[in-house]
Amino acid sequence: MPHDFLSDEQIARYARFPAEVSVSELEQFFRLDSQARAMATAKRGPASKLGWTLQWGTVRMLGVFLPDNPTGLPTSAITFVAEQLDIDPACVGEYRRRQQTAYEHSWEIRDAFGYRDFAAGQEELRTFLAARVWTTEEGPRTLFDRAVVYLVENKVLLPGLTVLARMVATVRREENARLHANMHQRLPTTVQTAMTGLLHVPEDRRRSELERLRSEPTRASSHAMVAALDRVSEISSVGTGQIDVADVPAVKLDALAKYGLKSKAPTLRGLDEYRKSATLLATVRSLETSSVDDALDVLNLLMVSKLINRSVREGNEDKLNRLPELRMAAKNMAQALEVLLATSQDSHEQAVSLPQVWNAIEEVVDRQKLVTAVNTVAEQVPDDADAAAEWRARLVKRYRTVQGFIELLLDVIEFDATEAGQPVLDALRTAAPMARSRKHYRAEDIAAHAELTGGSWKRPIFANPNVDPGRIDKTAFIMCVMEHLHKALRRRDVFARGGDRWGDPRARLLSGQQWEHTRPTVLAALGLESEPAAHLAELASALEDGYHRVLEGLSTNTAVQFDGGKLRMDPLGAGAEPPLMGQFRARVEAMMPRVDFPDLLMEVAARTGFTRDFTHISGAETRMEDFNASLCALLVSEACNIGLTPVAKPGVAALTRSRLHQVDQGYVRAETISAANARLIEAQSDIGIVDSWGGGLLASADGMRFVVPVNNLHTRANPKYFGLRKRGATWLNVVNDQVMGLGGVVVPGTLRDSLFILDAIHARDGGEKPERVVTDNASYSDLVFGLFAICGYQFSPRIADLGDTRLWRTNTHAHYGPLDTMSRHTVHLDKIRAHWEDMLRVAGSLTTGAVRAHDLMRMLSRDGRPIGLGDAFAHYGRIFKTLHLLQFLHDESYRRMITAQLNTSEARHGLARKICHGNRGELRQRYRQGLEDQLGSLGLALNAVVWWNSLYIDAAVDQLRADGFPATEDMCARLSPLICEHINFLGSYTFPQPDVQAGLRPLRDPEATEE
């Protein structure tokens, strides 16, 4: 059938009213305007007036007339219309007596309000659908819904279901075919041949060349670096990077690439010629970018873990090993100096010769020992020494690690640089040929790079005793350049032209016509103006009010004390709970039905339909029987970290290992998990109890650490969290005050969380945009406050120690009493004014997703200090940081709100640990995408538990209130959907289809004794 792709729900609601019409729909479609009221009241009898108006509202809401049953509307709609006309709704039955009247009214409404038959508007619809197919990757179900909305909004009467479904399917098929043919025609024969060759499986191997090139590196070593660079070179040699695809929407290229990266070679070979060419073109171009990023990931991890960190550790060990020798030398020199000082005092009374002085010194310390001591100090504490001298000396000894790839690095990856990074790039071009050269280099050969070779690099480069005078130690120079290159790459002062993660974030900032087109929308969305004067004046006034509010409340604020001019704040105590709260909480928890985790997921899937968001990577909707069972089994496998073995059932078609692999490869990916999360977030907001927990406008961001005991470039070492010899990753997730996860990002190791929080919030899966973002007191800075503020968020970290906190002011003449000592520093508003336009451009780029925040923050600072535009953001952020600190000092409820939301995040992490119990909670994913997909599945499972608990907590509260328990809103606000004692996460892995039509599961009797 042409409409096989439609869901049962879509078929059921097409051109039909729901059982109940919402209040907003009544206002939107059935509220009479002046023209409709005049035409309705002109009818003769009440029934005719009411019937005409009902038909008018029907076509506005459904896009079609219902001539066979013009009054078959929900009672709420009939009553709503009758009240406006001051007519008894009971007369509606009289309208059906003469069918011709309904037809006449429908024609009148059509002519008066400009409705057209489908034949008159189908070409417009076809054009609309073609544009959607060309510029988006929407599936046929979504396109069908958009087509219905388009027809309703443009007053084109809906055709039959089959007609519209056939048009959607046809346009989608034709436009995709046109796209594939367009991309195929751009390919030269050589590129076409090279791409097709990637699908060949060599005789001595089990996988195709494409599948080999898709495999990311997992280790960081010199050999792995060479292999990664060879992979870059091999992929770029295919030639797809030379094909101009600038006019092809990025979303289409991305979708084709994802399909090509997931599919096996036989599947790709089986595609029609045009689609195969388009898919391979997009896939290889994607690999060109990702391979460059992967190679620089290897370089970054190699420099950090194998070279710099190891050299620092060994340098520190060298310091400790030489410390006794240095202490003895210092002791001998101190003894000699004491004698010299004493002799100097005696010389005021009589002359003392140099031999006499030496004789006196040698009575205390032998002259040879003194010479040795002086040489020891000179060697270990040279004039040009700095804190890095020891480890840099060790770093030079690891030259062989980079010798094998530095020249290849420059040949394969196309580097570029900002003005600050150009000296490093120039030095790299000088150093790379040295690695293979046997030439002896002199100081003048590297004179152009003097700004990089100073400090503790000067001695190993220019004064190595093992190198002939006048020559330089080229190994030391090369390692010096590699250290500077690593720093510049991390700051993106040097970047890869073909990279994404290691590309230039400045190039992604909105500019030119693109910025001018987006600018008005951005300013309106963020509530900002082109001129900052009024905005800054308002902030200055708010800052002044904040200071005075704190000062006025100090007399009654017993939590704040000043000890010797230093601020001290008492920790929060436990808040008082309402009477009967303990009993209420215990009763609710005792009433929750006992359920196995797989049963819970199956019920959530049946009630919310979140599995429908897992579309195939090709864009097709699934037609698998018992797809819910297969998908929920995969979620249990991934979220519980137990693998497929416990959930696979050879005798059950939906749970065979091959079926689970098929679903995993084709349906489970970041965008489908995100869409499913969005559905759960929206569904949870409709549950009554949820409003007691919050409005969804408050969110917290916190990291959850996972050990990854296998080789993975996206992990880092941290003995505090991962143990001495293991590495791990951080899952930074965002949770709203309704306890639903809004999304998350995977961070290598334990990098500063604040660099990624803004990215996680902007990339949230769904829910309201939070107004306030709460974090723990870990890493935050003035720059972070500024970026959050310009993007419309109040950044509210918990402050552990206010004693050394700095407050900022705009009024240099004001006196703030005991706060004067803390607030001596001034915000420079002139710096904000000077950079305001660029600050707005950054805000627009961040909010539209054009640039990642963590890349941008590196660009705006150097060695931890904001520079240029970053300094303007820092001053802007100091205003909001001070406002936050002042409110934190003054308002206990504000402090409790922050603490409560952070406690919610920690409790959610506790539940996540219980769910992710397999393999001791360690993730064994070798690739970044594997980590993201598994932790995304864990986040979806968490949201499913929260949704299910919310549903049954709501039912339990209703039951308790019906039984006479005085459950207040304050008491309901203290309930948590993170309880899990009633859920069994262990051992039971069956996936029965639930009967949701029978209603909710029976609640348990809170008075019953557990067996």
Specify if 951 maps to a domain: yes
DSSP code for 984: E
Q: Are 725 and 733 contacting, i.e. CB atoms less than 8 angstroms apart?
A: no
| Angle ∠(671,674,680) on CA atoms, nearest 5 | 145
pLDDT in tens, 709-718: 988 888 888 8
Same domain, 596 and 553: no
SS3 471: strand
Q: Is pLDDT above 80 for 427?
A: yes
pLDDT in tens, 853-900: 888 887 787 766 777 888 999 999 999 999 999 999 899 899 999 999
Q: Is pLDDT above 70 for 160?
A: yes
pLDDT in tens, 894-924: 999 999 999 999 999 999 999 999 998 899 9
Q: Is pLDDT above 90 for 436?
A: no
Report the percentage of the chain scoring pLDDT > 70.
97
Same domain, 803 and 865: yes
Higher-confidence residue of 238 and 555: namely: 238
pLDDT in tens, 613-628: 898 887 777 778 899 9
Same domain, 972 and 830: no
As beta bridge partners, residue 567 has: 562
Domain-ending residue, one of 861, 890, 919: 890
Domain-ending residue, one of 836, 861, 890: 890
As beta bridge partners, residue 773 has: 699, 795
Q: Is pLDDT above 90 for 739?
A: yes
Q: Of the candidates 777, 783, 831, 770, which has an alpha carbon nearest to the alpha carbon of residue 800?
A: 777
Question: What pLDDT was estimated at residue 856?
Answer: 83
What is the pLDDT of the chain when averaged over all its residues? 88
Specify if 752 maps to a domain: no
Q: Are strands 861-862 and 825-826 parallel, antiparallel or unpaired?
A: unpaired
Q: What is the mean pLDDT of residues 459-470?
A: 86
Q: Of the candidates 908, 892, 919, 914, which has an alpha carbon nearest to the alpha carbon of residue 976?
A: 908
Distance between CA 823 and CA 807 in Å, rounded? Answer: 4
* Confidence category of residue 92, pLDDT binned at 50, 70, 90: confident
Same domain, 836 and 979: no
Q: Is pLDDT above 80 for 454?
A: yes
What's the chain's length in residues?
Answer: 1011
Distance between CA 640 and CA 644 in Å, rounded? Answer: 10
Q: Are 600 and 983 contacting, i.e. CB atoms less than 8 angstroms apart?
A: yes
Number of folded domains that form the chain: 3
Name the E strands within 527-610: 560-563, 566-569, 595-596
Give backbone dihedrals phi and psi of 27, rounded to 5 degrees, phi first: -65, -40
What is the enclosing helix (H) or strand (E) of 295?
A: helix 273-301
SS3 647: coil
Q: Are 759 and 730 contacting, i.e. CB atoms less than 8 angstroms apart?
A: no
Q: Are 631 and 639 contacting, i.e. CB atoms less than 8 angstroms apart?
A: no
As beta bridge partners, residue 865 has: 862
Question: What pLDDT was estimated at residue 205?
Answer: 78
pLDDT in tens, 172-231: 999 999 999 999 999 999 999 999 999 998 887 788 999 999 999 999 999 999 999 999
Residue 653 CB neighbour total at 10 angstroms: 13
What is this structure's pTM?
A: 0.86
What is the enclosing helix (H) or strand (E) of 25?
A: helix 23-30
Which CA distances in Å does 252 have to 191, 195, 268?
20, 19, 17
pLDDT in tens, 282-337: 999 999 999 999 999 999 999 988 888 888 877 777 777 778 888 888 888 888 88
Q: Are 737 and 677 contacting, i.e. CB atoms less than 8 angstroms apart?
A: no
Q: Is pLDDT above 90 for 723?
A: no
Q: Of the candidates 249, 858, 855, which has an alpha carbon nearest to the alpha carbon of residue 500?
A: 855
* DSSP string for 533-545: HHHHHHHHHHHHH
Which CA distances in Å does 493 have to 64, 156, 415, 496, 735?
60, 55, 10, 10, 34
Q: Where are the alpha helices (DSSP H) in 302-421?
A: 309-346, 354-364, 367-380, 389-396, 399-403, 406-412
What is the enclosing helix (H) or strand (E) of 736?
A: strand 727-736
Question: What pLDDT was estimated at residue 238?
Answer: 93
| Angle ∠(424,429,431) on CA atoms, nearest 5 | 90
pLDDT in tens, 9-18: 888 889 898 8
Q: Is pLDDT above 80 for 823?
A: yes
Same domain, 81 and 153: yes
Q: What is the mean pLDDT of residues 651-669?
A: 91
**Burial (CB count within 10 angstroms: exposed 0-12, middle 13-18, buried 19+), residue 628:** buried
C-alpha 774: how far from chain center: 16
Q: Are strands 983-984 and 595-596 parallel, antiparallel or unpaired?
A: parallel
Question: What pLDDT was estimated at residue 751?
Answer: 65
Specify if 443 maps to a domain: no
Q: Are 343 and 292 contacting, i.e. CB atoms less than 8 angstroms apart?
A: no
* Confidence category of residue 343, pLDDT binned at 50, 70, 90: confident
* Confidence category of residue 537, pLDDT binned at 50, 70, 90: very high
Q: Where are the alpha helices (DSSP H) in 748-868?
A: 754-762, 782-790, 829-834, 836-847, 853-859
* Confidence category of residue 384, pLDDT binned at 50, 70, 90: low
Distance between CA 275 and CA 298 in Å, rounded? Answer: 34
Specify if 131 maps to a domain: yes
Distance between CA 776 and CA 942 in Å, rounded? Answer: 21
Phi-psi region for residue 694, left (φ > 0), alpha (ψ -120 to 50) or beta? Answer: left
Q: Are 445 and 366 contacting, i.e. CB atoms less than 8 angstroms apart?
A: no
Quote the domain boundaries for residue 617.
581-677+929-998
Using N-to-C axis directions, what is the helix angle for 627-639 and 597-608, rounded to 10°? 130
As beta bridge partners, residue 561 has: 568
Same domain, 527 and 670: no
Distance between CA 239 and CA 221 in Å, rounded? Answer: 28
Residue type, 555: S
Same domain, 152 and 83: yes
Q: Of the candidates 957, 471, 474, 969, which has an alpha carbon nearest to the alpha carbon of residue 691?
A: 969
Give backbone dihedrals phi and psi of 194, rounded to 5 degrees, phi first: -65, -40
Question: What pLDDT was estimated at residue 964?
Answer: 92
DSSP code for 465: T
Question: What pLDDT was estimated at residue 965?
Answer: 92
List, in order, residues 6 or more apart from 969 with CB less than 8 Å away. Answer: 692
Residue 333 CB neighbour total at 10 angstroms: 17
Same domain, 868 and 934: no
Same domain, 972 and 881: no
Specify if 682 maps to a domain: no
| Angle ∠(223,225,231) on CA atoms, nearest 5 | 105
Domain-ending residue, one of 181, 206, 223: 181
SS3 349: coil
* DSSP string for 943-962: HHHHHHHHHHHHHHHHHHHH
Give backbone dihedrals phi and psi of 774, rounded to 5 degrees, phi first: -100, 135
Using N-to-C axis directions, what is the helix angle for 222-236 and 273-301, rounded to 10°? 150
Question: What pLDDT was estimated at residue 507?
Answer: 87
Question: What pLDDT was estimated at residue 66?
Answer: 85
SS3 204: coil
Q: Specify the residue for token string 């007519």.
A: 87
Q: Specify the residue for token string 């600072």.
A: 861
List, in order, residues 6 or more apart from 193 with CB less than 8 Å away. Answer: none
Same domain, 971 and 845: no
Q: What share of the chain is helix, strand, coil (3-state, %, to 5)?
A: 60, 5, 35
Question: What pLDDT was estimated at residue 975?
Answer: 94
Q: Are 611 and 676 contacting, i.e. CB atoms less than 8 angstroms apart?
A: yes
* DSSP string for 27-70: HHHHS--HHHHHHHHTSSSHHHHHHHHHHHHHHHHHSS--TTST
Question: What pLDDT was estimated at residue 386?
Answer: 63
Specify if 635 maps to a domain: yes
Same domain, 527 and 588: no
Question: What pLDDT was estimated at residue 880?
Answer: 94
Same domain, 72 and 170: yes
Distance between CA 911 and CA 905 in Å, rounded? Answer: 10
Specify if 401 maps to a domain: no
Distance between CA 159 and CA 172 in Å, rounded? Answer: 18
Specify if 291 maps to a domain: no
